[in-house]
A and B are shown apart, each in its own frame.
Chain A
Amino acid sequence: MVFDGEEAAHGHRLSTVVPSSVTGETNYELSDADLAFKLHYLRGVYYYAAGDVVRGLTTKALKDPMFPWLDAYHPVAGRVRRADDDLQAAPPRPYIKCNDCGVRIVEAKCDRALDDWLRDDAPDRLTHLCYDKVLGPELFFSPLLYVQITKFKCGGMALGFSWAHLIGDVASATSCFNIWAQILSGKKPDVSSLEPANTPRDHAPAGAPPPRSVKPVGPIEDHWLVPAGCAMACYSFHVTEPALRRLQQQLSHAGSFELISALLWQTVAKIRAPKEVNTVTVVKTDMSARSGKSLANEQTIGYVETGSSPSKTDVAELAALLSKSQAIETDAVAAFPGDVIIYGANLTFVDMEQVAAYGLELKGQRPAHVEYGMGGVGEEGAVLVQPDADGRGRFVTAVLPKDEIPSLRAALATTLLLRDA
C-alpha cells in the first residue's frame, strides 16, 4: 500500500506558538558542533492510542502548555540570522536570534485508523506525519521546529516533530519535548540553564583534508537542503526481543546496536554490490558523557573501516569492528570549516539506545509507538537504531535511496531479523 491522496494526512492548518513572556534582545550562539549538523533535520513521530485521555487532548490543550515551555527554550522559537560583522568568513557565521518568532504548529487529519497505519509498513509513513520543510530559502522566516498534530479516524493521534538538528541532537530534542509533556501534565519541571555554546575554537587550516566521517558539500547559501542526489525514503521495521535474542545466540554476543548495524551493513553492501561499502560512520549518544546543557550537539562521531568487502565478511566480525575499532572524530568534525553532511556521507549508523523517547507521556498516557527518522540525509544513507515500546527489542528506521528500499525489504524478510521464533 502506498500513502497518497486521501489516505495520507490532509487538511493541513498552520498556526504559530510563541514564548509567553518577552525574551528581549538575546542571541544564541551556535557552536562549531552545532553548525556541522545544519543540513540535517530530525523527524520524530509519537503515536498515541485512542482513548479518553487522547480525546480530551484538543489542539488548544496541546498548544497552551507550549507558551510557558518556550519561555524555557527560547532559542527554539528564534530564527537563524547571519552575523553582520564577520567580514572574513563568506558567508558570515550563522547564529540564532531569540526574537520570539515562534514554533509552527500544523494540524492535520488522517482518514485511516491508527492501528491500520501502524501495521502498514510502506516506506515514508514518517514523512506524512512530520511537516516536511527545511531552513531557507529565507532563513529570516524559517521556523526551527514544526509540530504536526494528526488526528486519526479512530480517535488516535500522532505528534510529528520536525527539528532542525543544529539546535540540538536527538537527546536534547527528546528531553525538550519531554519537558513540554510535563508542563502539559501539570508539573513544573526544572529546566537546566540554557548556556550559549562555547566560543568557536581554531578551525583546521583551509587546505586540510576533511574527516572521514563527513563529506564536504559546495557552499550552501541560505537554503539549507542537502544538494539533490537521489530521492531518499524512510523504511522502518521492528526487531522483536525474541528475534534479537536469537540473533545474539546464533551470530554474535555483541551489543544489540552493533549486531543490528553489522547485519544491515552486510545487507546494504550486498544490495549495492559491486559498489563497496567499506567505510561507515557511527554516531552515538552517550548520556553519561553529556555536559548537562539543555540544547547541545554532543553525539560522538566516528568511522569504522573494514579491509575486506562487508558482503563477504562474517556478521560477528563486523559487529566486533563496530564495537572496538571505531576512530573517533568528533572534534575534527567540529573544527572542519565549511559545510558538510554527516548522516549519509558514508552509510551512517545512529545509536539511539540511550535516548528516552518513550518519556513523552501526555497526561500519564505513554506513546504506543515512537519512531525517529532523519531528513536531509546524504546518498549513502543512515540507519537509526532506537528502543522499542517495552525497551527490550529494537526499532530500526533506515533512510536509504528510494530504489534500494524494495531490495532491503526482500533481504530483511529472509534474514533472521524479521523471522519470529
Chain B
Amino acid sequence: MSSSSPSPPSPLAHLNRLKPMYQYVVNNFLAMVAAPLAVAALVHAARVGPEEIVARMQALRPVHVFLAAFVPAAAATLYIMLRPRHVYLVDYACFRTKPNCRVPFATFLEHAKLVTFVEGQSIDERSVRFMTRLLERSGLGEETCLPPAHHFIPPYRNLEASRVEAESVIFSAIDDLLAKTGISPSAIDMLIVNCSLFAPIPSFSDMIIHRYKMRSDIRNVHLSGMGCSAGLISVGLARNFLQVAPRGAHALVVSTETITPNYYVGKERAMLLPNCLFRMGGAAVLLSTSRAKARFRLSRVVRTLTGAQDNAYRCVFQEEDGEGHRGINLNKDLMTIAGDALKANITAIGPLVLPASEQLLFALSFIARRVLNRKVKPYLPDFRTAFEHFCIHAGGRAVIDELQRSLGLSDEHVEASRMALHRFGNTSSSSVWYELAYIEAKGRMRRGDRVWMIGFGSGFKCNSAAWECISPARNVDGPWADSICRYPVDIPEVLKH
C-alpha cells in the first residue's frame, strides 16, 4: 500500500487510505479473531495426532456427548422460533398523475388572484404576492397536479368532490399494484390506509373493501391525523400484524393525502404555505412474510416522537385563523424542530444500522468530547456506509437542504427527493414512494442495495424505515414513465416567470 509520490503525503491522505482498512478490520472483527484461533486449533490437533484424538473421544461419557449435541441444537431451534419474522415488500405502485390535473405555476397564481374577487373570500393582494415569492423558491416544477375540484374558481371543497379525488387516486394506485403483483384482492389479510386530513365515514379502508370485494375477515385500519410520516407508521403497523398473522399473509398499505377539502382561503401567511406545496399523490404497497416474488426486505422501522415538548407539538398545527378560515399553521422554527427530531431518530437508528466501525468512531468521539475537550467536533456518522440510497420526504426545499446538511449527503443522494418535489410537489406520506420509484426508474437500484426512507410530520414525528433490495424493478413503468427522460433537471434558486 505504499505510494511512490515524490512529495511527502499529508496526514489526511494517510488517514483516508487507512480508513477502508480500519473499516474492514472492525466490521469483520469476529472473523479476524476466529480465523487465527481456528488455525491454532488445527495446528494443535495435527500435532496431537489423529489416533490420540479418537482415543480421547472414546473416553468421553455419553451424557457429555448428548449435551454437547443437544444444547446447541436446542438453542438454535429456540432462536429460530422466537426471532421476529422477516417482512418483505412484494411490490409498490404510485398514483400516476394525469395531464388534465396539471397546474402550471402561472395558473396557480392566477387562480389565487381571482379568488380574491369572488364573493367575500379573504385572500388579498399581500397574500398573493407572498404566495408568488413562495412558489418561485419552492422547487416545484410546472407539472405538479391538483385535483379537478381545485381547477375551479373558486375551488370546490365539499365532501363529494373530496371523495371523488380520494377514489380516483387510491383506486388507480391499487389497480396498478394488483396488476403488477398478480395478486387477488381476496388474498389480502390486512388493509391499512393513512390519510391525515380527510377521514369521512365510512373510512377509506371500508371504501376499498367495498370496491374490491375483499374478504369479510380482513383486518382494516384507517390512520388519520398522523401527518406526513404516516406512511412509515403504517408500514410499521403492518409489520407488527404480520408477526402474528398466519405465515405468508399479505398486508396492503395505502398512503395518500386528500387535497380537495384543504384549500386555505384566509390570509395568514403561516397558513398559506400548504396551499403552495401540497399536491395530489398516493401510493399502494403490498407487504408479506413470504419471500416469493418479494422485491425488498424491511430491515428496520424506527419511530421517534418529540411531541412531549410544547414547541414541537405546536409546530404544525391545524387551526382556524382570526376570520374563521381553517388551515394548517406552520411555525417559524419548523426547521430547528425538524433538525432536533432528526437527531433523535438518528440516535435511535444509528446503532441498529451503522457498521461497527462507524459506531466505534462515534463512541470514541463522544468519549473524547466528554472527557478531553468540549471543542472536539462531534463525529458525524457516515450513513453512506449503511445505505446506498436515501428517500427523504419531499416536504419542501428547505427540509431537503437541511437534511442534506445534517447528514453530510452529496447532491446525488438527495437527487431523488429534489426531483420528486419538482415533478410531483409535496405529496405528503406517499412522497418517499415516488422517490423510490425515481431511483428505480433511473436504473440505480442493485440487488443488495440498502434504502433509508425518512419521513417527517406533525407531532412532531420523525420516522425511518430501512429496506434492502432483493430484486430491482425490471422496467421504467410507473409514475415516472413519461417524464424520467427529462430528469434530473437543474432547479433554479428563483423561478423566472
Partners in one complex: yes
**Chain B contacts for A15, CB-based, 8 A:** 151-153
**17 more A-B contacts (CB under 8 A) besides A15-B152, A100-B107?**
A13-B152, A14-B114, A14-B153, A16-B111, A18-B102, A18-B103, A22-B104, A25-B496, A67-B100, A67-B102, A99-B105, A99-B497, A100-B106, A101-B110, A102-B106, A140-B110, A141-B110
* Chain B, Cβ-Cβ closest to A24: B142
A21 interfacial by beta-carbon distance below 8 Å: yes
**Chain A contacts for B497, CB-based, 8 A:** 99
Q: Write the nearest CB–CB distance from B164 to chain A, whole angstroms.
A: 11
Where the two chains meet, the residues of B that have a C-beta atom closer than 8 Å to any C-beta of A are: 99-100, 102-107, 110-111, 113-114, 141-143, 151-153, 496-497
CB of A22 within 8 A of CB of B110, answer: no
* Chain B, Cβ-Cβ closest to A99: B106
**Chain B contacts for A14, CB-based, 8 A:** 114, 152-153
CB of B153 within 8 A of CB of A64, answer: no
* Chain B, Cβ-Cβ closest to A140: B110
In angstroms, Cα B308 to Cα A28, docked, is 57
Q: Write the nearest CB–CB distance from A239 to chain B, whole angstroms.
A: 41
**Chain A contacts for B143, CB-based, 8 A:** 22
The listed residue (A13, A20, A79, A138) touching B102 by CB distance below 8 A is A20
- Which of B99, B106, B113 gathers the greatest number of chain A CB atoms within 10 Å? B106
CB of B99 within 8 A of CB of A100, answer: no
**Chain A contacts for B114, CB-based, 8 A:** 14, 141
The listed residue (A22, A25, A63, A140) touching B100 by CB distance below 8 A is A63
* Chain B, Cβ-Cβ closest to A98: B106
In angstroms, Cα B153 to Cα A17, docked, is 12
**Chain B contacts for A101, CB-based, 8 A:** 104, 106-107, 110
A13-B152, A14-B153, A15-B151 known; A100-B100 Cβ under 8 A: no
* 7 pairs, CB–CB < 8 Å, chain A vs chain B: A15-B153, A17-B100, A67-B99, A67-B100, A99-B105, A102-B107, A141-B114
CB of A100 within 8 A of CB of B113, answer: no
Q: Write the nearest CB–CB distance from A383 to chain B, whole angstroms.
A: 35
Number of interface residues of A (CB under 8 A): 22
In angstroms, Cα B151 to Cα A67, docked, is 13
In angstroms, Cα B107 to Cα A413, docked, is 49
Q: Write the nearest CB–CB distance from A55 to chain B, whole angstroms.
A: 21
* Chain A, Cβ-Cβ closest to B113: A141
* Chain A, Cβ-Cβ closest to B103: A18
Q: Write the nearest CB–CB distance from A63 to chain B, whole angstroms.
A: 7
In angstroms, Cα B98 to Cα A68, docked, is 12
**Chain A contacts for B99, CB-based, 8 A:** 20-21, 67-68
The listed residue (B106, B111, B496) touching A79 by CB distance below 8 A is B106
CB of B153 within 8 A of CB of A22, answer: no
* Chain B, Cβ-Cβ closest to A22: B142
In angstroms, Cα B103 to Cα A101, docked, is 9
Interface string of A7-42 (1 = CB under 8 A from B): 000000111111011100100000000000000000
* Chain B, Cβ-Cβ closest to A71: B99
In angstroms, Cα B107 to Cα A140, docked, is 11
Q: Write the nearest CB–CB distance from B409 to chain A, whole angstroms.
A: 29
* Chain B, Cβ-Cβ closest to A20: B99
**Chain A contacts for B153, CB-based, 8 A:** 14-16
In angstroms, Cα B100 to Cα A18, docked, is 8
**Chain A contacts for B107, CB-based, 8 A:** 16, 18, 100-102
Q: Write the nearest CB–CB distance from B8 to chain A, whole angstroms.
A: 53
CB of A18 within 8 A of CB of B152, answer: no
In angstroms, Cα B67 to Cα A81, docked, is 90
**Chain A contacts for B104, CB-based, 8 A:** 18, 22, 99-102
Interface string of A141-157 (1 = CB under 8 A from B): 10000000000000000
In angstroms, Cα B441 to Cα A232, docked, is 60
- Which of A67, A101, A140 gathers the greatest number of chain B CB atoms within 10 Å? A101
**Chain A contacts for B106, CB-based, 8 A:** 79, 99-102
Interface string of A75-90 (1 = CB under 8 A from B): 0000100000000000
* Chain B, Cβ-Cβ closest to A13: B152
CB of B100 within 8 A of CB of A20, answer: yes
* Chain A, Cβ-Cβ closest to B149: A15
CB of B100 within 8 A of CB of A64, answer: yes
In angstroms, Cα B141 to Cα A18, docked, is 15
In angstroms, Cα B153 to Cα A68, docked, is 22
CB of B100 within 8 A of CB of A16, answer: no
Which 6 interchain pairs have the tightest Cβ spacing?
A: A20-B99, A101-B106, A100-B104, A99-B106, A14-B153, A15-B152
* Chain A, Cβ-Cβ closest to B486: A22
* Chain B, Cβ-Cβ closest to A138: B113
**Chain B contacts for A141, CB-based, 8 A:** 110, 113-114
Q: Write the nearest CB–CB distance from A114 to chain B, whole angstroms.
A: 26
Q: Write the nearest CB–CB distance from A124 to chain B, whole angstroms.
A: 24
In angstroms, Cα B496 to Cα A25, docked, is 9
Q: Write the nearest CB–CB distance from A103 to chain B, whole angstroms.
A: 10
- Which of B99, B103, B152, B496 gathers the greatest number of chain A CB atoms within 10 Å? B99
In angstroms, Cα B357 to Cα A395, docked, is 88
CB of A100 within 8 A of CB of B142, answer: yes
**Chain B contacts for A18, CB-based, 8 A:** 102-104, 107
In angstroms, Cα B497 to Cα A100, docked, is 11
Q: Write the nearest CB–CB distance from A68 to chain B, whole angstroms.
A: 8
**Chain B contacts for A79, CB-based, 8 A:** 106
* Chain A, Cβ-Cβ closest to B482: A21
* Chain B, Cβ-Cβ closest to A65: B100
In angstroms, Cα B105 to Cα A79, docked, is 13
In angstroms, Cα B141 to Cα A101, docked, is 14
In angstroms, Cα B141 to Cα A143, docked, is 22
Q: Write the nearest CB–CB distance from B155 to chain A, whole angstroms.
A: 9
**Chain A contacts for B496, CB-based, 8 A:** 25
Q: Write the nearest CB–CB distance from B162 to chain A, whole angstroms.
A: 17
In angstroms, Cα B327 to Cα A400, docked, is 51
